Amino acid sequence: MNIHYVKLNEAGQAVHHLLHPKGLPAPRDYVAFTDQPDAPKVTPVPQEVSSKQLKFWLLDHGHYETVLGFLNNPANWPNEVAKKKAFIHWSTSQTFQRRHPLTLGIQDVLGLSDDEVDAAFITAAATPV
């Protein structure tokens, strides 16, 4: 028999879940999920949000200009072609994927944890555009 566990981010949102064998210690950073009314609600992390949703989230949280600076700084790219490809992706993509290299680069530049980016994707996905 297995027990359902969830991992919560800083906002208290469940960002990952797993089944773990009963009788073994709980996985690190996870809490048992129950069907009780006060149990944490599992909010799945969207693996993709629209370009507008992500950019609005960045703007609302004061990160938009930092990202533009990151994209335009030649020191961040191995060569001019890589810089241009990143800018094309940024300016023409209709969606952004959670684990895309550009998303991970933005995460690194902003100094955000995985949990913070997961929460950002959850919030961005709920943003009407």
Q: How far apart are CA 57 and CA 112, in angstroms?
A: 14
pLDDT tens digits for range 61-118 = 999 999 999 999 999 999 999 999 999 999 999 999 999 999 999 999 999 999 899 9
**Of 24, 42, 25, whose CA–CA distance to 33 is shortest?**
42
Beta bridge partners of 19: 4
Q: Where are the domains of the chain?
A: 2-32, 48-125
The one-character DSSP state at 1 is -
Between 68 and 22, the higher pLDDT residue: 68
Q: Is the pTM of this model over 0.75?
A: no
Confidence tier at 8 by pLDDT (50, 70, 90): confident
The one-character DSSP state at 113 is -
Contact present, 117 and 11 (Cβ < 8 Å): no
Q: How far apart are CA 110 and CA 85, in angstroms?
A: 20
CA distances from 34 to 43, 51, 99 (A): 15, 35, 29
**Of 11, 21, 46, 16, whose CA–CA distance to 31 is shortest?**
16
Beta bridge partners of 21: 2
